[in-house]
Amino acid sequence: MSVLRQMISLLALGAILLVSCGTPPESETDTPEATANSNTVAEAPAPAPTTDPSEAVAGGTIVIGTPQEPAVLNPLLASSSIEDAISALAIEGLVEVNAEGEFAPVLAEELPLVSEGGLAVTYTLKQDVQFANGDPFTCADVQFTFESIMSDLSGASTIGYQDIDSVECTDEHTVVVNFAQLYAPYLRLFSYILPQAAGDPAQLDTWDYNRNPIGTGPWAVEEWRAGDQISFVPNPYYREEGKPYLDGLFVKILPSREVGMQLLGTGEVDVLWDLTEADFPTLAALETQGVAYAGAVTGENELLLLNLGDPTVDEPTDPAANPHPILSDARVRQAIEFGIDKQAIVEALLYSNVRVGSSVLPSGPFACPQDPRSYDPEAAQALLEEAGWTTGADGIRERDGQRLSLKIQTTSGNKLREDTQQVLVEMMRQIGIEMAIENVPSDVLFAGWDANGLRKRGNFDVLLYTTGPGIDPDSHLYDNYHSNQIPTVENEGAGSNYSRYINADVDAALAAAAATTDVEKRQEQYCIVANQINEELPRIYLYERLLISGYQTHLQNFRVSPGPNDFTTGSANWWLQSQ
């Protein structure tokens, strides 16, 4: 057995020993056994058991555990998945992504009507809907939400909203959104609605609403004890009589996912957010304690983000003017991917519960699957030789006195990613590339421009984390791969093109996809994007991700949505079965 295979096996064995000793790990797990086929995996995690709603019993409270505490619950200022999910307990939108991964009306009576040219989108609003403070929900609140999103203090993405010419109220319950130019993924807009009572958009950063949101959803914040818990009570004005069934919810802030797994097993928490595919063995071990899981396919990938710009430049500019001394060469990027045995990672660290990463669009209505680049260390070494990198005395390659050395960084304290890094370091050493692990806290890696976030500022070589498109990929692809979305001094750090990737064909394809509502034509353009990314490799996709939450099975109707609601989708329908 090679040293590399031994290393991977030891990492997997360590995880199994942790499970058998009763200490739930953040990563490793035990579900279906590994198979030889790299793409053999369940289409999606099994949905949570449900029962006939007519059998629902009112009463009781539950505890939701999360290792991350939200900073705010105002979608205009949210910057994390946990903020989106928790705020969705109180705040609803005109349309949402349901547990089936489909767009469904919420505050709208039905999905909107679209004019022939696609420039006018008309919503008919539900009547007799009230916010948690008793104010009626009307078209004016939709107008206010749009104005707030576009206000100076808003941190919300304006992609799509910036194409809106006006939001018109033909009456209190009819909204006409007039676009200056066609915006194909219009359904993703207005996924949350704020009441006019939230405050003056010019003072958005000081709103009480930021930590005490008023929404039309089934729940309202009762108390937020920082670092401890957020308690929710039923919205007294919720439109569905008799719902929510529960008397209350408590969102408990936990020190770690490992602690959460222990509390889930003992029943001290009823729901645990943000599990990984590597947690399946622990979940299996907890089945006898009434633990199950619910999940969804997200279209996201665990990936390597490669910086094509010079990370030492204080003010990031066009990477053509300041290219990365190593990663700007496509041959090096291709060699890195050839040198990664993705299947070995999936089998050993994820127990073959996911597919090997191959595309920015692996699933969903706009999926564009790609053939994974095979593990081929000989091809990797040939490419590096061609690029002028020759093997040094210690096995690490050199060129013109420069060592082929790169930093790889992720969020500190994530065991699955740390294990993945160790494997990647050894794989790269096998082809003559030195990778040095230098992890940082999440608030450093993901910090914004003004806080000198290393991702935003481009002060990195290689990053390891998860991201990907939602049901409609337009905004993700545009924000992450369009050339005008490179964070710079001039645009004050706007955009998420952290690779500093520039490709005119990608820009043109994204523009063409956004200019038509024809799904097949849009998919053709998105496949151009996927093909170009796979050819030039600003990012390397390691494996596809699942969205997973654990729960105690006495909680009925628990589901997970691939949309922003995540594990809080359908919370009005949750109820407790007597034990």
Kindly report, residue by residue over 314-324, the tens digit of the pLDDT.
Answer: 776 678 889 99
| Residue 572 near residue 384 (C-beta atoms within 8 A) | no
CA–CA distance, 553 with 270 (Å, rounded to integer): 8
**Cβ atoms within 10 Å, residue 367:** 15
What's the CA gap between 222 and 210, in Å, rounded? Answer: 14
Angle between helices 519-536 and 504-514 (to 10 degrees): 160
pLDDT of residue 54: 59
d(CA 384, CA 337): 12
What confidence score (pLDDT) does residue 24 get? 31
Per-residue confidence (pLDDT) for residue 68, from 0 to 100:
87
Quick one: which of 9, 13, 48, 39 has its CA closest to 354? Answer: 39
> How far is residue 37's CA from residue 58's CA, in Å, rounded to a whole number?
47
**Contact status, residue 46 vs residue 280, Cβ threshold 8 Å:** no
CA 563 – CA 451 distance, rounded (Å): 28
**pLDDT, position 569:** 96
Q: Which of 419, 352, 413, 416 is nearest to 10 (CA)?
A: 419
Pairing of strands 229-234, 248-253: antiparallel
Strands (E), 33-75: 61-66
Give residue 317's pLDDT.
65
- pLDDT tens digits, residue range 32-88? 222 233 333 334 445 455 555 558 999 999 999 998 889 899 999 987 889 999 999
Note the pLDDT of residue 44: 44
Element (H, E) at 408: strand 405-409
Q: Which two tokens stand for residue 84?
A: 């989106």
Residues of the chain with pLDDT under 50: 1, 3, 12-45, 47
What angle do the packed helices 342-350 and 415-430 form, to 10 degrees? 150
pLDDT at 511: 93
**Amino acid identity for residue 66 in this structure:** T
Distance separating alpha carbons of residues 79 and 45, to the nearest angstrom? 27
User: Quick one: tokens of 578?
Assistant: 């007597």
Radius of gyration of the chain (CA): 24
Residue 434 pLDDT = 98
* Residue 235 DSSP class: -
Please give the Cα distance from 518 to 479 (Å, whole number). 21
Q: What are phi and psi of 55, to 5 degrees?
A: -90, 0
For 417, the 3-state DSSP assignment is helix
273, 514 in Cβ contact below 8 A? no
Query: Could you give the residue ranges of the DSSP H alpha helices within 120-267?
Result: 139-149, 257-266
Cα(428)–Cα(442) distance, integer angstroms: 25
